[in-house]
């Protein structure tokens, strides 16, 4: 039985139906989130605790996670998994260290010095989904680049379970990544606490990390008061495959995205109908074996597709139109095709680089642009945790050499005070307005 819809297209313009990846539904949560944010701003911890009781079903003794709890979490996860976290963290650290940048100074004009300073943000908030799920990879991918950038304080929020406890894997990852403070809160109320500050939770300069539609909406609403990383949508993978691809690998890679969320999307683009048939059959075969098969089945049925086209080059053209979050090149000599890729969050080359490798271990960041935004945005990086400031110094002779040109420029724009602010410096004891 066929598991997936098929689209036959001869050129990239034929895939318009794939460019809208909202799963056919969006919850209108703006009013609810706006009310929560206003309440947190007005009442602080009291409001946060009230929403924690209502939405998470728990009433913690303390919002902040203690160092003792983190110590116990490390014991609970065991040395084996702790070592995996350390090794993954080391890979992530080594990759992101290459992204560090320095300021610069230019002194090529006599009497003039100009330049740029690069400074870390002072305090960053990290949202980590929790409660019924545990994503220690999210902790590593968000916290490690921030620390490499030099951020002195990382504040993490994550919802607790009904018993008030945070998943030990999340706490262990936070210790390894260098998180400074952890609070057992989630949802829009946690975003509000980070944005406005409460009696317990300090106000931050930027909020990063994924979450559900309420979290994403809250981040969008507080943007401007604080910075945010991105508004992340449902996860997606696009696999370009030729006859060299293994259909079992391709099918399972598609399902690995589909099990994320019923709104997730998995695309196979190929010129081989035989491969398409084999992958379709394997998706149907593997689907019932998954613990999250109900979620994967909805994602495959509603949002995913196999696209048949004429060549790998046309498949790449289709991919560039879609601008996927994850792109797998399961083709012969994949590095030869990499220069043709214009728009993708992260590219996985060959039959032995599954998307899960990037999710957990390889080193590049797994926080990626979704919903076609790879056309103009980039993966989370060290750059997301810095700010830049310029500086200018001119001595009197340097300014005098160019002051007439500045005055002419200002007058052309009709800004007399701008012109006068330069002219007054060369008008002697008096000032000729």
**Residue 198: pLDDT over 90:** yes
Of 199, 255, 196, nearest in space to 38 by CA: 196
Angle at 303 between CA 297 and CA 304, to 5 degrees: 80
Which position among 325, 328, 355, 366 bears the catalytic label? 325
Residue 366 bears catalytic tag: no
Q: Quick one: pLDDT at residue 59?
A: 87
Q: CB of 129 within 8 A of CB of 138?
A: yes
Q: Is the dihedral of CA 201, 202, 205, 208 positive or negative?
A: negative
pLDDT in tens, 326-374: 999 999 999 999 999 999 999 999 999 999 999 999 999 999 999 999 9
pLDDT in tens, 306-335: 999 999 999 999 999 999 999 999 999 999
Q: CB of 245 within 8 A of CB of 352?
A: no
Q: CB of 181 within 8 A of CB of 64?
A: yes
Helix (H, G, I), strand (E, B), or coil: what is residue 56? Answer: helix
Backbone angles phi, psi at 226, to 5 degrees: -130, 165
**Residue 394: other Cβ atoms inside 10 A:** 16
**What are the Cα distances from residue 259, in Å, to 19, 137, 235, 320?**
21, 17, 10, 24
Q: Quick one: pLDDT at residue 13?
A: 58
Token code pair at residue 377:
């945005």
CA 52 from chain center: how many Å? 25
pLDDT in tens, 118-160: 999 999 999 999 866 789 999 999 999 999 999 999 999 999 9
**Residue 219: other Cβ atoms inside 10 A:** 27
Q: CB of 348 within 8 A of CB of 328?
A: yes
**Residue 293: pLDDT over 80:** yes
Q: CB of 117 within 8 A of CB of 141?
A: no
pLDDT in tens, 28-48: 799 999 999 999 999 999 999
Q: CB of 423 within 8 A of CB of 403?
A: yes
**Residue 3: pLDDT over 90:** no
Average pLDDT for the chain: 93
Mean predicted confidence (pLDDT) in 156-183: 96
**Residue 24: pLDDT over 60:** no
pTM of the complete model beyond 0.85: yes
**Residue 60: pLDDT over 50:** yes
Residue 400 bears catalytic tag: no
Q: CB of 250 within 8 A of CB of 266?
A: no
**Euclidean distance between CA atoms 398 and 428, whole angstroms:** 17
**Euclidean distance between CA atoms 329 and 162, whole angstroms:** 42
Q: Which domains does the chain have, with CATH numbers?
A: 5-23+234-363 (3.40.50.1980), 30-228 (3.40.50.1980), 395-426 (no CATH)
Q: CB of 293 within 8 A of CB of 300?
A: no
**What are the Cα distances from residue 121, in Å, to 94, 149, 287, 384, 402?**
21, 8, 44, 9, 36
Of 193, 233, 201, nearest in space to 217 by CA: 233
Which position among 326, 328, 355, 366 bears the catalytic label? 326
pLDDT in tens, 62-98: 999 999 999 999 999 999 999 999 999 999 999 999 9
């Amino acid at each position: 039985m066929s598991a997936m819809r098929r689209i036959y297209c001869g050129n990239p313009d034929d895939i318009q139906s794939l460019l809208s990846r909202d799963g056919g539904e969006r919850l209108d949560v703006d009013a609810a989130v706006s009310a929560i944010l206003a309440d947190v701003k007005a009442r602080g911890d009291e409001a946060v605790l009230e929403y924690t009781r209502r939405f998470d079903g728990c009433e913690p003794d303390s919002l902040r996670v203690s160092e003792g709890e983190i110590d116990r979490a490390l014991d609970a996860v065991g040395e084996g998994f702790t070592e995996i976290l350390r090794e993954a963290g080391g890979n992530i650290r080594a990759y992101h260290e290459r992204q560090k940048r320095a300021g610069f100074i230019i002194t090529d004009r006599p009497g003039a010095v100009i330049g740029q300073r690069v400074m870390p943000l002072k305090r960053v908030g990290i949202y980590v989904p929790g409660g019924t799920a545990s994503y220690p990879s999210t902790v590593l991918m968000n916290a490690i680049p921030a620390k490499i950038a030099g951020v002195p304080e990382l504040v993490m929020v994550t919802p607790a379970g009904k018993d008030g406890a945070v998943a030990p894997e999340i706490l262990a990852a936070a210790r390894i990544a260098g998180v400074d403070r952890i609070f057992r809160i989630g949802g829009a109320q946690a975003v509000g606490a980070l944005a406005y500050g409460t009696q317990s939770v300090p106000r931050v300069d930027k909020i990063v990390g994924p979450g559900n539609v309420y979290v994403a909406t809250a981040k969008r609403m507080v943007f401007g008061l604080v910075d945010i990383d991105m508004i992340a949508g449902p996860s997606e993978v696009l696999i370009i495959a030729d006859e060299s691809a293994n259909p079992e690998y391709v099918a399972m890679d598609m399902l690995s995205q589909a099990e994320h969320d019923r709104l997730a999307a998995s695309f196979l683009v190929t010129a081989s109908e035989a491969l398409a048939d084999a992958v379709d059959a394997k998706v149907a075969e593997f689907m019932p074996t998954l613990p999250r098969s109900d979620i994967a089945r909805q994602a495959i049925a509603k949002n995913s597709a196999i696209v048949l086209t004429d060549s790998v080059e046309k498949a790449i053209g289709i991919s560039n139109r879609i601008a996927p979050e994850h792109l797998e090149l399961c083709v012969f000599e994949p590095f030869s095709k990499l220069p043709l890729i214009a728009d993708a969050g992260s590219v996985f080359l060959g039959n032995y680089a599954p998307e899960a490798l990037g999710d957990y271990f390889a080193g590049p960041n797994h926080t990626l642009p979704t919903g076609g935004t790879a056309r103009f945005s980039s993966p989370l990086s060290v750059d997301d945790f810095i700010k830049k400031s310029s500086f200018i110094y001119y001595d009197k002779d340097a300014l005098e050499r160019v002051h007439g040109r500045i005055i002419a420029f200002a007058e052309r724009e009709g800004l007399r005070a701008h012109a006068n602010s330069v002219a007054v410096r060369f008008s002697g004891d008096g000032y000729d307005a």
